[in-house]
Amino acid sequence: MPLALLALAAGAFGIGTTEFVIAGLLPELAADFGTSIPVAGLLVSGYAFGVVVGAPLVTAAGARLPRKTMLVGLMALFVAAHLLSALAPSYGALMTGRIVASFAHGAYIGLGAVVAADLVRPEKRAGAIALMFMGLSLANVLGVPLGTFIGQEFGWRATFWVVTVVGVVALTGIAALVPGGARPSTGLRHELAAFRSRQVWLALAMTALGWAPVLAVITYVAPLLTEVTGYSGGAVPFVMALLGAGMLAGGPIGGRYADRALMPSVYALLGAIIVVAAVLPAAAHHKVAVVVALTVFGVLASAVIPALQTRVLDKAPGAQALASAANVAAFNLGNAVGPFLGGLAISAGLGFTSPLWVAALLGISGLAVALLSGALDRSGPAATREAGTEAPATVR
């Protein structure tokens, strides 16, 4: 794997850290700006909304730029946004910095996946994407806890200064290591042509529905552990760390198997996510069993990411940048849908195990879409050429 992948992963690490670290700093932010914690929590929602909207828009705006130039520009925008956030004199200024950073987030992850796949041989693409996405997993295991600690000990602004430094390191690495010959995008018109393919839309739906179960489970882990399993609140971070360790391990595993057999890997991983989600309500009543199940769930959650991202790249040959960015938006749509439906189930009085059943049902929906997409693959070559370009020689 080329060193350039490490530079791309460093950028993903900074992006993953800033996305979630704010949640651990809400009390400090609310106190500093004289607002309530729910209002401070809008800094999380605003960021997520910015990713969904900004990923395709920013990618489209830079469609004619060389990919390396676009990546350097996006990371420079990320650094500027965090300088603004670190110096923000008001809540509004901080929200502005968060939204600007979110625009860089979606386009960077989407384009970074395309560049990562181009850096290696075709049979290694999913593994390369997994390595880049490992930066996001490492952010959850290391970046978010460390950023939260720094913010609580030295003030929330210190966290943004540290993330700014991470952005500068990633920017330097991308400028030095990513080959200048990385292909430019093919232009907005050609990129948009990919969305004439029903397979691209099925791949996006597969991502949103296949990823939503992950957030439906993870979002409500703390009350599940304390109210159902009987753990103390102090044990929750340790269980979450094991779940995060599972996610860190799952990416390379998923990338390896997705390179061997893409759609069978998607079927197997989504099926396993459904099974574990369905087992968790029973496991939640046993302290050891729930930890084991959540760790396995973390492995599966991370393992499915490179497969879902590679599927979109396969279905948009020659017009991958915008489709890849749209898939990042689909992941974030899953981020919103899973917790929302899980919260509705809890609010309906169904208990803290109900999000687990929501996750299983969402997973079944994602698997159904995947099976439909696979069936279209087998129905004939025309299904793979709806975007107006030939499909890759390797049928997956």
For the chain, which residues make up each domain, given as ranges? Answer: 4-185, 191-384
Task: Tell me whether the CATH fold assigned to 4-185 matches the one assigned to 191-384.
Answer: yes
- The pair of structure tokens assigned to 58 is 């920013």
Percent of the chain with pLDDT over 90: 33
Global confidence as pTM: 0.76
DSSP 383: G
Could you read off the pLDDT of 32-62 as tens digits, one per residue?
A: 998 887 778 778 778 878 888 887 888 777 7
Evaluate whether 33 touches 40 at the Cβ level (below 8 Å): yes
Instruction: Indicate the residue type of 394.
Output: T
- Is the C-alpha dihedral spanning 190, 191, 197, 199 positive or negative? positive
- The pair of structure tokens assigned to 180 is 């200048």
Evaluate whether 199 touches 348 at the Cβ level (below 8 Å): no
Cβ count near 8 (within 10 Å) = 31
Evaluate if residue 182 carries a pLDDT over 60. Answer: no
Q: What is the pLDDT of residue 280?
A: 94
Evaluate if residue 385 carries a pLDDT over 70. Answer: no
* Superfamily of chain region 4-185: MFS general substrate transporter like domains (1.20.1250.20)
Least confident of 14-18, 121-125, 217-221, 390-394: 390-394
- What is d(CA 373, CA 365) in angstroms, rounded to the nearest whole number? 12
Q: What is the pLDDT of residue 319?
A: 66
Q: What is the pLDDT of residue 190?
A: 67
Q: What is the pLDDT of residue 1?
A: 61
Q: What is the DSSP string of 296-322?
A: HHHHHHHHHHHHHHHHHHHHSTT-HHH
Instruction: Indicate the residue type of 79.
Output: V
- The pair of structure tokens assigned to 295 is 């760790």
Evaluate if residue 185 carries a pLDDT over 80. Answer: no
Evaluate whether 266 touches 307 at the Cβ level (below 8 Å): yes
Could you read off the pLDDT of 314-332 as tens digits, one per residue?
A: 887 766 777 777 888 888 8
Evaluate if residue 384 carries a pLDDT over 60. Answer: no
Q: Cα separations (Å) of 87 from 78, 156, 208, 276?
A: 14, 11, 35, 44
Task: Report the pLDDT averaged over residues 341-354.
Answer: 87
What is the average pLDDT score of the chain?
A: 84
Q: What is the pLDDT of residue 126?
A: 79
pLDDT band for position 391 (cuts 50, 70, 90): very low
- The pair of structure tokens assigned to 309 is 């991202």
Q: Which residues contact 320 (CB under 8 A, 6 or more apart)?
A: 114, 117, 194, 312, 313
pLDDT band for position 394 (cuts 50, 70, 90): very low
* Superfamily of chain region 191-384: MFS general substrate transporter like domains (1.20.1250.20)
Instruction: Indicate the residue type of 6.
Output: L
Evaluate whether 83 touches 164 at the Cβ level (below 8 Å): yes
Q: What is the pLDDT of residue 124?
A: 82
- What is d(CA 284, CA 376) in angstroms, rounded to the nearest whole number? 39
Could you read off the pLDDT of 69-86 as tens digits, one per residue?
A: 889 999 999 999 999 999
Could you read off the pLDDT of 118-159 as tens digits, one per residue?
A: 888 877 877 888 888 888 878 877 888 888 888 888 989 999
Could you read off the pLDDT of 241-278 as tens digits, one per residue?
A: 888 888 888 888 888 888 888 899 999 999 999 999 99
Q: Which residue has the tokens 């990129």?
A: 191
- What is d(CA 77, CA 88) in angstroms, rounded to the nearest whole number? 16
Q: Among residues 358, 141, 136, which one has the least CA distance to residue 240?
A: 141
pLDDT band for position 299 (cuts 50, 70, 90): very high
Task: Report the pLDDT averaged over residues 182-211.
Answer: 77
Q: What is the pLDDT of residue 381?
A: 54
Q: Which residue has the tokens 């960015």?
A: 325
